[in-house]
A and B are shown apart, each in its own frame.
Chain A
Amino acid sequence: MSLSVLICDDSLVARKQVAKCLPQDWDVSVHFAKQGEDAIKQLRDGKGQLLLLDLNMPVMDGYQTLEAIRNQHIDTIVVVISGDIQPEAHARVKALGAIDFIQKPVDAAMLQAVLQKHQVLQVTEVVDTNLPYAIRDCYQEITNIAMGQAGDHLARIMNVFVKLPIPNVNLIEVSELHMMLNDIEAHDRVSAVCQGFIGGGVSGEALCMLSDSSFGDVAKILNITQEIDDQLQLEVLMDAASILIGTCLTGIGQQLDLSLRQGQPIVLGQHRNVSELITANLTKWRRTLAIELSYGIEGYDVQCDLILLFTEDSMAIMNKKLAHLLEDEA
């Protein structure tokens, strides 16, 4: 399947120039947008797995476009191509999720180098960067069912009403994980536990984050009466994480006919910025399937986020299993 590339620039000349610079032998379908709003619309229609984005445009500029992509969780790889050479512009677009910045006028060699550097060229030859709609839907449904079971269990064991989250399923890049974590960070300081899981060729990591303000209430729910010190917080976090991660993985495993083993959980840090937690490991992977769940408990101030990250290799196996499910239903 060919990759869809969306070129967004207000100038016709610039659009043509960028299109001419795309690698010659690259199997892509090229689309054009005159400004950000137009681009977002086309991205939503699946017309831009790769977005080559200008910054200064009427109606909706490049920065606003990047923000919209982030807020709407649109799955695309963005390279900014702009005449703005200020280092600040460079830093800002990267912070907003663009993978790189190319100065105008763009030339073929430079674009090729950037695409190669970020493995956009290779990857698209092997896997489709967009999660097909049916498969995404399937992951979402499977997580929903797993969560339904888990929620029921949790509710019974803790005598609370669990507000079931709608799972957010996405293929994400390293930079996007960063953004996702920054979003979480925006509301509070958090502590996190991460736990590896593996089984039947599927592997990944579960990340469970509890905002510091939730500890008191979680302890109440778990019947812990002592004063909450750091040591006890760790214990609360570990218990909540074991239950959430365990029930969720068991539910998903059952439906996919997999038995997922969990490793010993690791505490990522207490009272630290989330982005600090992840920075150290950033370079080891580039794309992952993420299932994001945000829990709340009725009547309590509890904010708990669970993110299941699956490796790229696991996806091939899971997709195959899911394809069987889809066939069965049809």
Chain B
Amino acid sequence: MSQTAQVSPVKHALDDVLEFHWMMDMLQTVDVGIVVLDREYNIHMWNDFMESHSGLNAADAKGQSLFSVNPSINAAWFAQKTKAVFDLNVRSFMTWEQRPYLFKFANYRPITGTEDFMYQNVSISPLTSATGAVDYISMMIYDTTDKAAAKKQLEALQVHVDEANELR
């Protein structure tokens, strides 16, 4: 009896570590870009998706400012965009219709794809700490290239149809 009681807490702890491990693995491999930032916009997480598409290693990205990693992001604009996330605890969104991309990545399908770059939807969520304060925010970057391409094609088609109708 006493033996099992001594073993199980250790096994529990081990299970927890293993669980943490596969959870991290999942965050790393999910086909969505994940970036975690603090209030100074320093990078705390840069997952596999971000590594693969940007060519920048997580080890190199971590601790760096988002704006030095990606100089095309206007700091004032981004601060305005995320102010509500930090202060109001709400999510903020960018759609590809509004801004085709935040990170200029190449098309995931460089051979058969019609677009040069990856269109992105970005959602920024507050990450609440144990105390309830929002010290970190997470950015999720979704690839919406197919959607954008389809919409472009549809619009082109509509123009064709309109022109054909006018000629008749």
Binding site for B on A (CB under 8 A): 153-154, 156-157, 195, 222-224, 231, 234-235, 238-239, 242-243, 246-247, 250, 262, 264-267
Contact across chains for B94 and A223 when beta carbons are under 8 A apart: no
Contact across chains for A264 and B95 when beta carbons are under 8 A apart: yes
B166 at the interface (CB under 8 A from A): no
Contact across chains for A153 and B80 when beta carbons are under 8 A apart: no
Contact across chains for A246 and B91 when beta carbons are under 8 A apart: yes
Given A157-B83, A239-B81, A264-B123, is A247 in contact with B98 using a C-beta cutoff of 8 Å? no
Residue of A nearest to B94 (CB): A238
Q: Chain B: interface residue count, which band? A: 10 to 19
Binding site for A on B (CB under 8 A): 80-81, 83-84, 87-95, 97-99, 121, 123, 142
Secondary structure at the B interface, as helix, strand, loop or mixed, is mixed
Given A235-B98, A264-B121, is A243 in contact with B84 using a C-beta cutoff of 8 Å? yes
Most buried by B among A156, A223, A238: A238
Contact across chains for A157 and B89 when beta carbons are under 8 A apart: no
- Top 4 A-B pairs, shortest CB-CB distance: A246-B90, A234-B98, A153-B88, A242-B92
Query: Which residues of chain B are near A153, meaning CB under 8 Å?
Result: 87-88
Contact across chains for A242 and B99 when beta carbons are under 8 A apart: no
Query: Which residues of chain B are near A267, meaning CB under 8 Å?
Result: 95, 97-98
Query: Which residues of chain B are near A154, meaning CB under 8 Å?
Result: 88
> What is the minimal beta-carbon distance from B131 to any residue of chain A, in angstroms?
17
Contact across chains for A239 and B88 when beta carbons are under 8 A apart: no
**19 A-B interface contacts by CB (under 8 A):** A153-B87, A153-B88, A156-B87, A157-B87, A157-B88, A195-B93, A222-B80, A224-B80, A231-B99, A234-B95, A238-B93, A238-B94, A239-B81, A242-B91, A247-B88, A250-B90, A262-B91, A267-B97, A267-B98
